[in-house]
Amino acid sequence: MRLAVVRPSRPLAVVLAAALAVLLAAADALAETPVLRISVLKFGTVNWELDTITHHGLDRANGFALQVEGVAGGAAAKVAFQGGETDVIVSDWIWVARQRAAGKDYVFIPYSKAVGGIVVPADSPARTLADLKGQKIGVAGGPLDKSWIILRALAERAHGIDLERETEQVFGAPPLIFKSALGGELGGAINYWHFMAKMEAAGMRRLISVAEAAENLGLDPETPLLGYVVKGEMLSDKPQLISGLAAASRSAKALLAEDDAEWERLRPRMKAASDAQFAALKTGFRAGIPAPGPVDEDSAAALLALMSRLGGSDLVGLASDLPDGLFVEAGS
Q: What is the pLDDT of residues 267-294, one digit of tens each?
A: 999 999 999 999 999 999 999 999 988 9
Taking residues 37-49, report their average pLDDT.
95
Structural contact between residues 306 and 217, judged by C-beta atoms closer than 8 angstroms: yes
| Residue 23 clears pLDDT 80, i.e. is over it | no
Query: Residue 261: pLDDT above 50?
Result: yes
What integer is the mean pLDDT of 48-64?
Answer: 98
Provide the pLDDT for residue 85: 97
Angstrom distance (rounded) from CA 226 to CA 208? 20
The mean per-residue pLDDT over the stretch 305-324 comes to 95
Nearest to 231 by CA among 112, 331, 81: 81
C-beta of residue 286 within 8 angstroms of C-beta of residue 203:
no
Q: What pLDDT does residue 21 have?
A: 54
Contact 91, 74 (CB under 8 A): yes
Q: Which residue has the higher pLDDT, 295 or 32?
A: 295
Confidence of residue 3 (pLDDT cuts 50, 70, 90): very low
**SS3 of 296, please?**
coil
Is the per-residue pLDDT at 27 higher than 60?
A: no
Single-letter amino acid code for the residue at 201: A
Average pLDDT for the chain: 91
Find out whether 107 and 325 touch, Cβ atoms under 8 Å.
yes
Q: How far apart are CA 188 and CA 177, in angstroms?
A: 10
Cα–Cα distances in angstroms (integers) from residue 4 to residues 7, 11, 15, 157, in the given order:
9, 18, 22, 95
d(CA 170, CA 180): 10
**At residue 112, does pLDDT exceed 80?**
yes
User: Where are the alpha helices (H) located in 135-209, listed in sequence order?
Assistant: 146-154, 163-166, 174-182, 193-201
In this chain, the answer to whether the domains covering 33-113+223-316 and 117-216 adopt an identical fold is yes
Mean pLDDT throughout 62-66? 97
CATH superfamily name and code, 33-113+223-316: Periplasmic binding protein-like II (3.40.190.10)
Q: For the chain, what are the domain ranges?
A: 33-113+223-316, 117-216
Q: How confident is the model at residue 32 (pLDDT cuts 50, 70, 90)?
A: confident
Q: How confident is the model at residue 84 (pLDDT cuts 50, 70, 90)?
A: very high
95 and 178 Cβ atoms separated by less than 8 Å: no
The confidence band for 5, taking pLDDT boundaries of 50, 70 and 90, is very low
Helix (H) or strand (E) holding 39: strand 35-41
39, 80 contact by CB (below 8 A): yes
CA distance 92 to 112: 9
* N- to C-terminal Cα separation, the chain: 73
- Each residue of 126-154: pLDDT tens digit? 999 999 999 999 999 899 999 999 999 99
pLDDT given at position 192: 94
Which range, of 3-12, 248-257, 298-307, averages the lowest pLDDT? 3-12
What fold characterizes domain 117-216? D-Maltodextrin-Binding Protein; domain 2 (3.40.190)
DSSP SS3 for 272: coil
pLDDT at 29 over 70: no
DSSP state, 221?
Answer: T
| pLDDT the model gives residue 24 | 57
Please tell me the distance from the alpha carbon of residue 252 to that of residue 229, in angstroms, as a whole number. 18
